[in-house]
Structure 1
Amino acid sequence: MSHPRRSLVTGANRGLGLEFAQQLLERGDHVVATCRQPGRASALNGLVGEYPGRLHMLPLNIADPRSIAELARELPLVCDGLDLLVNNAGVLHSGERFGSVPPANLDDSFRTNASGPLLLTQALAPVLAEGARVVNLSSSWGSVSELEAFRTPSYAISKAAQNMVTALLAKALGERGIVVLAMNPGWVQTDMGGAHAELTPSESVAGMLKVIETAGADDSGRFLDWRGRPAPW
């Protein structure tokens, strides 16, 4: 590639999103990092000084179509195209029990985890470069075949729907050579995964970036884990 790679990461204020931004900057990318309130993203703001001119922060509420439209309008002001889109922003409502799952949880989870990535990718499709990569951060909890118990239904349902989003986007963007992947990052030490998880964010993201880098057209629409192994639907 003759120019530095141009990447956009959603939910980049913490956890895996922040780690993606960090590692993409370290490899030389120009990075657009989005989150709901960039002014309060202290760790992300700290990277601006470390990588002058290569990190831009823009506000985005992935669950709000108006916010997505505004991002699409603002993006050309800081970036002339995208080689990588990482749909990382997500929400998990804990403590749900059968018989008392709040409808608002289901609505919020679907808008954030499933329809949000679809609508964002659709809005940014005109600026995706030929052969670009789109990565949707999924979860083993969205796997129907691995379901063991009734747990976090709003999250599980929305991630299963997000996997279909990945398959649909692969079909829609395939003619342009754009590879779309659903990725299971593993059990990671984040606010969502907890302190006792198996992987550090650094390990998970480093593994995923290797998979993203080497994925080919035949991989588009697949569900892979952070090591590149097929994940069960």
Structure 2
Amino acid sequence: MPTPPASRRSLVTGANRGLGLEFVHQLLARGDRVIATCRQPGRAHALNQLVGEHPGRLHLLPLDVAAPKSHAELVRELPLVLGDDDTRLDLLINNAGVLHSGERFGKVAAETLDDSLRTNASGPFLLTQALAPWLADGGKVANLSSELGSIAGKDAFRTPSYSISKAALNMATALLARALVERGIVVLALHPGWVQTDMGGSGAEVAPQDAATALLRVIQRADAGDSGRFLDRHGMPMAW
């Protein structure tokens, strides 16, 4: 039987702005208890305001997704915010990401590529691994990927660090799906579209509200047969 909406518990990374913040708004609106994470909670003014508006239902915790030590600290904090030992996370949204703009072939820096891989690929993989004991059987993991990580769709040299890291995230998604299959946990790689955020820019095509609504609908409808797939915000398959 599905978990009643009022008792669902969700964790969102990179929740201080853009799509992550919109996920928090919509998860709270549907009745979830939410753990929102970001690197500098003290500067997350919109999130702190939401905490005041939703006492006991929204908790804000520090997390640097690129730092495994920060993952361990988050895991230690979870019992304090989740409560009793039987409580588990029903949904993990790996939303935090980074895009380094202005890269040119011949000038791509090793530190830029390393930062992209740590934040966009190995970070979400290792965080999910660390949180696995706290995920509910039958729960869901949503990894925010991108069409730029599609190898089949690559037709030009652009955003190499971001593209490489998102392709790696897609592989991480497939591996996590296999690792968690016996517990019925569904793991998805999701392309939200070109979203109007600080990363996407003002010229982007999709409002954060519309992207979050569509993605949450895809997550809600996904079942075991979808685990490990790469889907767009309409639930349609993306080319690897």
TM-score range, shorter chain: over 0.9
Report the Cα offset of residue 49 of structure 1. 1.8
Match of 2:60 in 1: 57
Match of 2:24 in 1: 21
- Alignment partner of 1:226 is 2:233: yes
What is the alpha-carbon distance in structure 2 between the residues aligned to residue 104 and residue 117 of structure 1? 19
3-state DSSP of counterpart to 1:31: strand
**Where do 1:1-233 residues align within 5 Å?**
1-2=3-4, 4-79=7-82, 80-233=87-240
Give the alignment's TM-score, normalised by structure 1. Answer: 0.99
- Structure 1 range deviating more: 46-55 or 98-107: 46-55
Structure 2 counterpart of 1:118, which letter? F
Counting matched residue pairs gives: 233
What is the alpha-carbon distance in structure 1 between the residues aligned to residue 9 and residue 186 of structure 2? 15
What is the alpha-carbon distance in structure 2 between the residues aligned to residue 156 and residue 126 of structure 1? 30
3-state DSSP of counterpart to 1:63: coil
What is the alpha-carbon distance in structure 2 between the residues aligned to residue 84 and residue 39 of structure 1? 25
What is the alpha-carbon distance in structure 2 between the residues aligned to residue 77 and residue 51 of structure 1? 17
Report the Cα offset of residue 179 of structure 1. 0.2
What is the alpha-carbon distance in structure 2 between the residues aligned to residue 76 and residue 11 of structure 1? 21
Question: Once superposed, what is the RMSD of the aligned Cα atoms?
Answer: 0.8
Structure 2 counterpart of 1:117, which letter? P
How far does the alpha carbon of each residue in 1:10-34 deviate from its partner, in whole angstroms, 9 at most, with x for none?
0000011000011000000000000
3-state DSSP of counterpart to 1:221: coil
Report the Cα offset of residue 46 of structure 1. 1.2
Report the Cα offset of residue 4 of structure 1. 1.2
Provide the identity percentage.
70
3-state DSSP of counterpart to 2:189: strand
Identify unmatched segments of 5+ residues in structure 2: none
Report the Cα offset of residue 196 of structure 1. 1.4
Report the Cα offset of residue 232 of structure 1. 1.1
What is the alpha-carbon distance in structure 2 between the residues aligned to residue 91 and residue 57 of structure 1? 20
3-state DSSP of counterpart to 1:17: helix
Report the Cα offset of residue 6 of structure 1. 0.2
What is the alpha-carbon distance in structure 2 between the residues aligned to residue 140 and residue 82 of structure 1? 28
Report the Cα offset of residue 51 of structure 1. 1.3
Give the alignment's TM-score, normalised by structure 2. Answer: 0.96
What is the alpha-carbon distance in structure 2 between the residues aligned to residue 140 and residue 211 of structure 1? 16
